[in-house]
Amino acid sequence: MENGLIFIDIEKQMLTANGPMKLVVQTTIQLGELVAVFGESGVGKTTLLRILAGLSAPDKGMVSFGNTVWFDSEKQINIAPQQRNISFMFQDFAIFPNMTVEQNIQFAQPEKNHSFVAELLEVFGLTEFRKYRPNGLSGGQKQRVALARALARKPKLLLLDEPLSALDSEMRNALQNEIAKANQRLGLTTIIVSHDLNEVFRLASVVICIENGLVTRSGKPEDVFSDNSISGKVQITGQIARIQKQDTVYVVTVISGNNQIIKVIAFENDLENLGVGDRVMVFSKAFNPILSRLR
Amino acid sequence: MDPQFTQTLWITLKLAVSTTAILILIGLPFAYWLADTKLKIKPLIEALVSMPMVLPPSVIGYYMLVIYSPRNWFGSWLGKVFDVRLAFSFEGVLIASVIFSLPFMVQPLHNGLRALPNSLREASYTLGKSKVTTFFRVLLPNIKPSVITAVALTFAHSIGEFGVVLMVGGNMPGETRVASIAIYDEVQSLNFEAANRYAVILFLTSLVLLTTIYSVNKKYDTWKMV
């Protein structure tokens, strides 16, 4: 019987900009889930994705997809990327320069399906550029081509390495919806590498946090990123953009995931561990009465 | 026209075309393998391929003659089994020429393949495409300038070959006498007019080929910047 899980238990020695580091990941992923791998640059997120794709081999361990073993160091099994039925979207997009936008998408299909290509071109706003070669496209357009191409073969496992980093917020929102829709409609399992907290919250049902090669936390994004003691009615995640002193208090400007500007009053001791650029959650626990002098 | 003159040019052309054709067949898979391999002895293999660029042609010619000689096992085996004698024959010159021009084919192709981002190959693999499909549909079309450079350099180099042909093939009209040797021969017999005719043809052919390489590369550079 199909067990419906991706099983990962691997170790790999890596050389990073900060010296040698060991990537150790033990986790399972439900098939059909949209999973985010979250962490700073150079902690092994991309390497984990490459191991799942079969582009890099772990030093030891095991990877299986459902009942199919993809990698097993003991039995010396390492299934080639071609046999894994995946798509991998690279950070540098890896669009083939010799092919037009349309040909790039067609190339990904095992059997030609013109209507699906047309649909992808439409959904990703590429119809008018379909005869263009990649060299004439902007970074954002290339990213959309790469995403459309990754979906074109209807893979079982979609691996996205920071897929939306080159897009403006409007296009990013739109494509986040498309990724979520494709995940549902095509019955894919999607693993998305991201260091954008908003993206993680919007898209992922499960997040795996990696720090220095180790999985530190995993679970639902709201459980992983917020303090469990918080039982607020309103929770908004965002990033601190500015801290201004006003009289005895501070006004903290937080930019939320959908680019809303929220101003929060804070006292000096609230800000002890906070600075500009920190990711925060803005929440309201209870109705907070404010005193005002009557005339 | 002087029949010996046309015959010599024909042999020169035949040698250059055959060398280039054989080297395309050998060079493409070899360069792909070389760009892909993680073998520890890769530097040694690269050095061996490049040897003809630094060795005097007479050294290559000498070793080829030794190998072809019926007194050694390869030469005698060829003679016994196939009744073939390679020394001082067109086929012998052709084999030597293929070895001598190998770096001119392999190096541009290898450099072209190495300059492509790895992710192109990997993207094709993850889309389920085999190594062969990836090579012909993704990699080769993106190193067109390198292919043109490799073919033109190999052809030009084969046309201009002198030392190896002289060592391995000698100067046999109708068999191994090529234009570069004919020039030397005509000058030796003070026949400057004939030498000049060969020289002009070699000069112009090489000029046209090299101009082609440079104009193709220039066009590709501007295309890349768009």
Q: What pLDDT digit, counting tens, does each position of A84-102 carry?
A: 999 999 998 999 999 999 9
- Say which CATH architecture domain B3-218 belongs to: Orthogonal Bundle (1.10)
Residue A19's pLDDT is 83
The amino acid that residue A254 corresponds to is: V
Contacts for A233 with CB less than 8 Å, ≥ 6 apart: A283, A284, A285
Work out the number of other CB atoms within 10 angstroms of the CB of residue B132.
10
* Smallest CA–CA distance from B133 into chain A, residue: A107
Please state the rounded mean pLDDT for residues A248-256: 86
Asked whether the predicted pLDDT for residue B163 surpasses 70, the reply is yes
Count helices and strands in chain B by DSSP H and E runs: 11, 0
Distance from CA of B139 to the nearest CA of A (A): 9
Three-class SS state of A119? helix
Cβ-Cβ pairs closer than 8 A, A with B, add up to 58
pLDDT of residue A139: 84
Q: Which residue of A has its CA nearest to B223?
A: A135
Under an 8 A CB cutoff, do B123 and A81 touch? no
Q: Is the pLDDT of residue B98 over 60?
A: yes
Q: Cβ–Cβ contacts within 10 Å for residue A139, how many?
A: 11
Q: What's the rounded Cα separation, in Å, for the pair A59 and A43?
A: 17
ipTM of the complex: 0.78
pLDDT band at A230 (very low <50, low <70, confident <90, very high): very low
Give the C-alpha distances (Å, rounded to integers) separating A166 from A128, A138, A196, A241: 20, 9, 12, 21
Tens of pLDDT, residue by residue over B99-127, are 999 999 999 999 999 999 999 999 999 99
| B159 pLDDT higher than 70 | yes
Q: How far is CA B181 from the centre of its chain?
A: 18
pTM: 0.79
pLDDT value for A245: 86
| Residue B220 to residue A135: CA distance in whole angstroms | 12
Predicted confidence (pLDDT) at residue A292 exceeds the cutoff of 80:
no
Q: Hey, where are the domains in chain A?
A: 5-225, 234-284
Q: What distance in Å separates the CA atoms of residue B120 and residue B138, rounded to the nearest whole number? A: 7
Identify which of A85, A94, A98 has the shortest CB distance to residue B123. A94
In this structure, the dihedral spanned by the alpha carbons of residues A246, A250, A253 and A254, taken in order and rounded to 10 degrees, is -170
| Residue B226 pLDDT | 35
Q: A234-284: which CATH architecture? A: Beta Barrel (2.40)
* A41 Cβ contact partners less than 8 Å away, ≥ 6 residues apart: A195
Name the band, by pLDDT with cuts 50, 70 and 90, for residue A227. low
CB–CB of B126 and A88 under 8 A? Answer: yes
Q: Is the pLDDT of residue A231 over 70?
A: no
Q: Is the dihedral of CA A46, A50, A51, A57 positive or negative?
A: negative
User: d(Cα B77, Cα B66) in Å, to the nearest integer?
Assistant: 14
Residues of B in contact with A84 (CB under 8 A): 126
CA atoms of A206 and B4, how far apart (whole Å): 82
- Let me know: does A50 contact A64? Beta carbons within 8 Å: no
State the CATH architecture for A5-225.
Answer: 3-Layer(aba) Sandwich (3.40)
A96 CB neighbours in chain B (<8 A) are: 120, 123-124, 138, 142
Question: What pLDDT was estimated at residue A233?
Answer: 59
Which run of H or of E encompasses B70?
Answer: none
Q: Mean pLDDT across the stretch A265-287?
A: 80
The residues that bridge with A38 in the sheet, in sequence order, are A194, A209
Mutate to test the interface with B, among A79, A95, A98, A104 (most CBs of B within 10 A): A98
Q: Which residue of A has its CA nearest to B117?
A: A94
3-state secondary structure string across B11-30 = HHHHHHHHHHHHHHHHHHHH
**Yes or no, beta carbons of A55 and B125 under 8 Å apart:** yes
How confident is the model over B196-210, as pLDDT tens digits?
999 999 999 989 988
pLDDT at B31 over 90: yes
Strand partners, A264: A252
Q: Are A19 and A158 in contact (CB under 8 A)?
A: no
Task: Return phi, psi of residue A179, to 5°.
Answer: -65, -45
pLDDT digits 0-9 by tens, A190-215: 999 988 888 888 889 999 999 888 99
Q: Do B120 and A55 touch (CB under 8 A)?
A: no
Q: What is the pLDDT of residues B123-154, one digit of tens each?
A: 999 999 999 999 999 999 999 889 999 999 99
